[in-house]
Structure 1
Amino acid sequence: MSDNQNHGSNGTPMSRRRMMQLLGVTGAATGLAGCGGQSAVETDTQGDGGSDGSDGSDGGDGGSGTPESTATPEGFDSTSMATIQELAYVTNQTLPVLPIMEKLAQSFQATDDWNVPSADSEKMQVYWPTSWLPRTGDWTLKEGADDERLTLAQWAVPADSQYNVWNGTNDGEARRMIFDRFMRYNVATREYHPYVISDWSVDESTLTLSVREGQTWHDGEPVTGTDVANHIKLDLYNSAGGGGIGPYVLPEGDMNAVPDRVQATGDKTVEVTLEQPVNEDILLSLLAPTRLRAYDEVYGEYVTALDEAESEEERSSALGELTEFTDAEPIGNGPFQWEDADSQRTLVSKYEDHPDADNINFSEAEYLYKPQNSGRWSSLINGETDGSATLFMPQNQTRRLPDHMQTALVSRHWGMGIVFNHDKEPVNDVRVRKAVANVINREDAAGNSAAGTGSKVAVTYPSGLTGEFNDQIEGHWLDGVADEFDTYGRAEKRTERAAELLRDAGYEKQNGTWQKDGEALSLPIKGPAGFSDWVSGVQTIVSHLQDFGIESEPIMQDSATYWGGDYVEGDFKLALQGWASYDHTHPYFHFDWIYRSGDATDYWNVPTEYEAPILHEDLRDSETIAPDGYISDLATPQE
């Protein structure tokens, strides 16, 4: 979906199949409604929310500058880099999906009363500035400012918000200040930094986590290993072991194993027994964005009920009680504590005993009820709010911003793409997919989608790799092999190449239209009407196809019809969807999404094997390749 895939509470993408089970088709469609368009509602139950208002999954605290070296990066040996490049090459040569653009989310900061980093500072490359920068002392009140309260916005009615992340409804926006994440992640260096989890280690059989000293809940009780274990357990139970770290912890998804596999081993330590050796970076990517919620005083009874369930029926009943619980007045552990909420705002106050309290020089933060993008635009323009984590704001609105309101662009490692239904003719033919890729001008599509904001970057190498915004692809992941990759629509003779491909597939152009056996080549594109940036992008793409002689039209549907109907039923030839795994930097997650996700196998019907040229002859000796095994290799520690 556009800018907000739904996520489990650990921040990893939750499959739509799982969403349908939890919410039903109508609820799921509503939950997907705000993903980058202008009809946003916050369902941010799983770390997500509203139009560009989502939590990122990596929780980064660093910048996204180009790495200093293009050699094999720390944590990657030559074999894993070769595997990444080989999977990228297969993706580039077979196009199971067609990446169009990468997303740079707009983030806003007022500079009249506030000290904040400059818009181009690497410190802005965090998920999200409104959450991390105050904690690190990089968003502070200027001396002499009139108001000592940071004012932001939220999607859900404040009085209806609650903070049980496993409940599935109206997770309050103030969670960003109330709860702390497990770790911080530096996008530039791909390094993890301690936060609630102060130390960790991973070996072949065990993940060990240590809790930060001095971290307390807002009632003064210390944060313990039990609290951290509780949260991991509830994530496992809620996802039926299928999300986050579940596949690496539970033997064949055995939920009965949870109590033994996740244990507090001391006041400040947790041990997680691994089912198999796992690449540390994969585990940390899944754990880092977790916001610690499971205070034992509040959630312990639910953990006990799930741990002691002796049947699927008992476990289902216990899980039902957890997901029905509404935590309306949360006891948090972050630098701000919940005060109150009414129909128009949520108020939180500084928690003086937080380890980072000395970095914060303002006493309160409030979140105003702003359920529509237009209202958020007006609030930034008239000074009612002091900033926004992210918000899509077209150029005709950004021009109205006061001089003191700066706009930063935050990298997302994600963006709009075209997915093909591989069970449908003619897009089950790789020649047709390649012809489409050659016809589309991705720069034009990205530019029109961005609406003058510069928030979309065209994909240079359709390969499943992200990092277009700072040369991480050509200058890093594909260092030394980039010349082997096809840029498709970037070539001067791209339309000539597209014509060659279609002729080879049996088409001929008659009266300006490509035809085969007397039937015109027709490739309509379906997508969600509420995603205004995607609508602009697909209109541009359709015009390219039409100008080339391919019949096409945008079929933009309401969210319920699209996400809950045509998309999940595979009723499309070409459709719009995010082509990467939402804020993750490690290529493993993107290839896993493209080739092995429930969306890929159930809705796009991607094949299990592909015919593709060989990039690294020492890695494979056959042009027939099954990506699944290579993706699994990336999740395995390298010697």
Structure 2
Amino acid sequence: MSGPKDRHSHDSPLSRRRFVQGLGAVGVTTTLAGCGGTGQTEEDTPAGDSGGDGDTAGGGEGTETTTPEQIESVSRATIQELAYITNQTLPVLPIMEKLAQSFQATDDWNVPPADSEKMQVYWPTSWLPRQGEWTRKEGTEDERLTFAQWAVPSDSQYNVWNGTNDGEARRAMFDRFMRYNLATREYHPYLISDWEIDGTTVTLTVREGQTWHNGDPVTGQEVADHLKLDLYNSGGAGGLGPYVVPDGDMNAIPDRIQGTGDRTAEIELAHPVNEDVILSLLAPIQLRAYEGTYGEFVRGLDDAETEEERSQALGDLTDFTDEEPVGNGPWQWEDADSQRTLVTKFEDHPDADRINIPEIEYLYKPNNSGRWQSLINGETDGSATLFMPENQTRRLPDYMQTALVSRHWGMGIVFNHEQEPVDDPRVRKAIAHVIDREAAAKNSGAGTGSKIGVTYPSGLTGEFTGNIEGHWLEGVVDEFDTYGRAEQQTDEAAALLEDAGYEKQDGTWQQDGQPLELPIKGPAGFSDWVSGVETIVSHLQDFGIESEPVMQDSATYWGGDYIEGDFKLALQGWASYDHAHPYFHFDWIYNSGDATDYWNVPTEYEAPILHDQVRDSETVTPTNLISELATPEE
């Protein structure tokens, strides 16, 4: 299993060139979240938060999609400037991007080819059946699509604010607000059929004909209620919180988020916010807040007048288990036992006529090895995402295809900027020159091609489809340093270390007679990270830097050395997990709690200027530029 922030090998079975040719000139930029070191499984990103599914097809009431040109109102120059600052100062060192393996059976099922644009969604098992892109073949007797789930089905529950055992069947039973096309960077309507942002007012309209499984219509008030519960539960710290209640005033929530009509809800932002930032946060939300189930919790929190009352009301919400949920998706709750959850087609869903799958079941498979075997022996028909090493993929039947889905996130090296010598950018750059990121990614991917070495360490993602060169850095890519990818990189590294006061004696870099020691700490349980860091350590050692992997159990690492800043170099995801826009990545690198509290990143940097219309001094505060990205242009 990969790390909590868990990408570019030219040996990938689906090469970047081939994929770009298949898609045309479009790129990929997907949604990513700051997971800060929690042990989230790859497949089980919580619904209702900012992790989410994307898709390719339209929906709703004929509303046109929002294109990248329409939505990208932020200054490209500001994005490029932040990328250049990151590239020139390396507050973190991006090593690889992750490609998730997603599996689909083709024996009894029609599915798009593995290299199809339609596979670039979170997740194919969730979106393709909804859109009629994953269907039963004519004449097949199999009427049940079978997947896997982590938790014991009978112990699963569907209160997303409870935080425990959120059942895998949620993917079929609840609809997301919007769909996001990872390949074209387009938002498409789904449960929310229309949206409008007018200054600080965001208006959301529910798709006509959208009902709960008991026949009640989905209302704008329920959309508002879900958003409110998200804010109450996070204390205003996550998702929309910083944009709705930046001062953390929970008393403001009832006035700032309201149902304004049978099918409309309004969000009043504290200040204007770039549209792409708002949509990135809204699109992946799965609507859970059915009035008959959650209305009392919303009213309890809205009416709380003291912190004690609010704490009690929040406790009531988070203690509640929703074991037989009323959903709104194309499949409805049927039953669950100790081994499987069963959902059946909801004939009154707006997309029901596109779906010919009567049932979906989720089998209890609590570990990767069991999931591998189920795919190999045909017990399951696919998996949303699952790391499966090459020695196992070779055993898959011919009818089981593997698609690679870009995660726009991956393993990186983070530095404690209060520890010598990595507080010196010359040392960080020397490290970057020495490491062969392609080799680290290849070994981390264990023959699957699911990890891609970062070409331009810049804080930008989209390596898989050339989106960095072809979109974000278009016109300026030659200004960026690739580090570690040319034959003479060791000469560059040596010059930097010499300039920093080191000399090489008897094959080892030293300063004042002391060897340069750079151990790398990380979580031992993440086997792909272990393989990657072993490769990195060998590069440093070969260059004359004393290094070793210090891999610890998760509790010791994430709960101890990492959060205490007890490291010089450590492993963590370098991008903001499950968000679409570069804003979120730069905010993670320079402004997240991890960056400020654990990595001790400075507030100011000295970096050469790329665009003089963005800044006029080499002394720069990146968080100021990041704030500009969240603000719509005049």
Shorter-chain TM band = over 0.9
Q: Is 1:621–2:628 an aligned residue pair?
A: no
What's the secondary structure of 2:247's corresponding residue? helix
- The answer as to whether partners of 1:206 and 1:273 remain within 8 angstroms in 2 is yes
Q: Which amino acid aligns with 1:330?
A: P
What letter matches 1:277 in structure 2?
Answer: P
Deviations 1:400-437 (A, max 9, x none): 00000000000111111110111111110101100000
Query: Which residue of the partner structure matches residue 270 of structure 1?
Result: 265
Deviation at 1:47, TM superposition (A): 6.1
Q: Any gaps of 5 or more consecutive residues in structure 2?
A: 7-30, 58-66
Superposition pairs of residues 175-190 of structure 1, within 5 angstroms: 175-190=170-185
State the alpha-carbon separation in 2 of the partners of residues 75 and 144 from structure 1: 44
**Structure 2: how far apart are the matches of 1:487 and 1:62?**
33
| Distance of 2:315 and 2:626 partners within structure 1 | 34
CA distance in 2, matches of 1:109, 1:45: 22
Q: In 2, are the aligned partners of 1:45 and 1:170 still within 8 Å (CA)? A: no
1:542–1:552 CA contact under 8 A, matched in 2: yes
- Name whichever of 280-289 and 559-568 sits farther off: 559-568
Q: Quote the offset at 1:62 in angstroms.
A: 3.0
Partners of 1:168 and 1:585 in 2: CA distance: 24
Partner of 2:98: 103
1:248 Cα shift?
Answer: 1.1
The answer as to 2:256 corresponding to 1:261 is yes
- Distance in structure 1 (CA, Å) of the matches to 2:208 and 2:47: 27
Other-structure match for 2:490: 495
Is 1:509 matched with 2:529? no
Larger RCO (CA under 8 A, 6+ residues apart): 2
Match in the other structure for 2:55:
61
Matched to 1:453, the amino acid is T
CA distance in 1, matches of 2:462, 2:34: 23
Determine helix, strand or coil for the equivalent of 2:75: helix
SS in 1 for 2:332: strand
Report 1:574-589 matches (<5 A): 574-589=569-584
Residues 578-587 or 179-188, more deviating:
578-587
TM-score by length of 1: 0.92
Structure 1 contact 2–415 (Cα < 8 Å) conserved? no
Cα distance in 2 for residues equivalent to 1:509 and 1:566: 30
Q: Which moved more, 1:186-195 or 1:292-301?
A: 186-195
Q: Which amino acid aligns with 2:130?
A: R
Question: What secondary structure does 1:253 align onto?
Answer: coil
- Counting aligned pairs with the same residue, the percent is 76
CA distance in 2, matches of 1:218, 1:34: 29
Q: Tell me the distance in 1 between the aligned counterparts of 2:48 and 2:548.
A: 34
1:402 correspondence with 2:422: no
> Offset of 1:2 from its aligned partner?
4.2
**1:601 lines up with 2:596 in the alignment:** yes
- Check if 1:174 corresponds to 2:194: no
From 287, 297, 312, the equivalent of 1:317 is 312
Q: Does structure 2 retain, via aligned residues, the 8 Å contact 1:94–1:610? A: yes
Instruction: Tell me which residue corresponds to 1:452.
Output: 447
For 1:444 and 1:166, the matched residues in 2 are separated by 41
Q: Which amino acid aligns with 1:295?
A: Y
2:434 counterpart residue number: 439
| SS of corresponding position for 2:532 | helix
* 1:189 to partner: Cα distance: 2.3
Partner of 1:476: 471
Which string of whole-angstrom CA distances, capped at 9 and with x for unpartnered residues, describes residues 35-74 of structure 1? 59xxxxx6x54569xxxxxxx83521139xxxxxxx9944
Kept in 2: contact 1:60–1:185 (CA 8 A): yes
**2:555 matched to which residue of 1?**
560
Distance 1:363 1:33 in 2: 31
Give the AA of the match of 1:205: T
Structure 2: how far apart are the matches of 1:432 and 1:73? 40
2-side partners of 1:391 and 1:84: how far apart? 32
**Do the aligned residues in 1 keep the contact of 2:114 with 2:401 (CA within 8 Å)?**
yes
1:47, 1:519 → 2: CA distance? Answer: 52
C-alpha deviation, 1:383, in angstroms: 0.3
Change (3 A) 1:35 1:269: closer
Per the alignment, residue 424 of structure 1 pairs with 419
Query: Secondary structure at 1:202's aligned position in 2?
Result: strand
Letter in 1 for 2:633: Q
Q: Which residue of 1 aligns with 2:364?
A: 369
User: Does 2:121 correspond to 1:126?
Assistant: yes
Residues 464 and 590 of structure 1 are in contact (CA less than 8 Å); yes or no, is this contact kept in structure 2? yes
Question: After the TM superposition, which segments of 4 or more aligned residues of structure 1 sit over 6 Å from their partners?
Answer: none
Q: 1:46 to 1:552 in 2, by over 3 A?
A: farther
Is 2:32–2:407's contact at 8 Å kept on the other side of the alignment?
A: no
- Assess if the C-alpha contact under 8 Å between 1:12 and 1:243 holds in 2: no
User: What corresponds to 1:152 in structure 2?
Assistant: 147
Aligned length: 601
Letter of the 1:304 partner, please give it: R
Aligned to 2:540: 545
Is the CA contact (8 Å cut-off) linking 1:45 and 1:169 kept in structure 2? no
Query: 2:20 corresponds to which residue?
Result: none
Instruction: Give runs of aligned pairs for residues 187-226 of structure 1, distance below 5 A.
Output: 187-226=182-221
Alignment map for 1:514-525 (pairs within 5 Å): 514-525=509-520
SS in 2 for 1:252: coil
Q: Is residue 2:631 matched to residue 1:631?
A: no
TM-aligned CA distance change 1:14 to 1:241, over 3 Å = farther
Do the aligned partners of residues 623 and 599 (structure 1) sit closer, same or farther apart at CA in structure 2, a change above 3 Å counting? same
CA gap 1:310/1:33 in 2 versus in 1, 3 angstroms = closer
Residues 115 and 138, structure 1, Cα contact 8 Å, conserved in 2: yes
Q: Does 1:573 align with 2:568?
A: yes
Residue in structure 2 matching 1:230, options 225, 228, 238: 225
Counterpart contact for 2:68–2:185, Cα < 8 Å: no
Could you tell me which amino acid in structure 1 is paired with residue 567 of structure 2? F
Map of 2:33 onto structure 1: 13
Q: Which amino acid aligns with 1:596?
A: N
Conserved in 2, the CA contact under 8 Å of 1:102 and 1:468? Answer: yes
Does the Cα contact within 8 Å between 1:182 and 1:288 map onto a contact in 2?
Answer: yes
Please name the residue that 1:32 is paired with: 39
| Contact 1:12–1:244 (CA under 8 A) maintained in structure 2 | no
CA–CA separation in structure 1 for the residues paired with 2:247 and 2:390: 50
User: Does the CA-based 8 Å contact 1:338-1:349 persist in structure 2?
Assistant: yes
SS, match of residue 457 in structure 1 = strand
1:378-398 deviation per Cα after TM superposition (whole angstroms, max 9, x unaligned): 000000000000000010000
Structure 1 CA distance for aligned equivalents of residues 311 and 399 of structure 2? 52
Pick the aligned partner of 1:342 from 337, 351, 367. 337
Name the SS of the counterpart of 2:403 in structure 1: strand
Cα offset, 1:620, TM superposition: 1.0
What amino acid is aligned across from residue 485 of structure 1 in structure 2?
F
Seen in structure 2, the aligned counterparts of structure 1 residues 374 and 590 have a Cα distance that, compared at 3 Å, is same
Partner Cα distance (2:182, 2:130) in 1: 18
Aligned to 2:19: none
Conserved? CA contact 2:32–2:409, under 8 Å:
no
Secondary structure at the residue paired with 1:488? coil
Q: Distance in 1 between matches of 2:589 and 2:246?
A: 25
Residue 389 to residue 251, structure 1, CA distance change in 2 (3 Å): closer
Deviations 1:318-348 (A, max 9, x none): 1011001011111100011111111111111
How far does residue 473 in structure 1 lie from its aligned partner after superposition? 0.7
Q: Offset at 1:449?
A: 0.7
From 449, 452, 461, the counterpart of 2:456? 461
List gaps (5 residues or longer) in structure 1.
Answer: 17-28, 37-41, 49-55, 64-70
Partners of 2:476 and 2:270 lie apart in 1 by: 35
CA contact (8 A) 1:218 1:333 kept: yes
Instruction: Indicate the residue corresponding to 1:66 in structure 2.
Output: none
Instruction: For 1:200, give the aligned amino acid.
Output: W
Q: Is the 8 A contact 1:46 1:166 kept in 2?
A: no
Residue type of the alignment partner of 1:279 = N
Cα 1:535–1:378 change in 2 (3 A) is: same
CA positional deviation for 1:583: 2.9
Alignment of 1:412 onto 2:407: yes
| Partner in structure 1 of residue 279 of structure 2 | 284
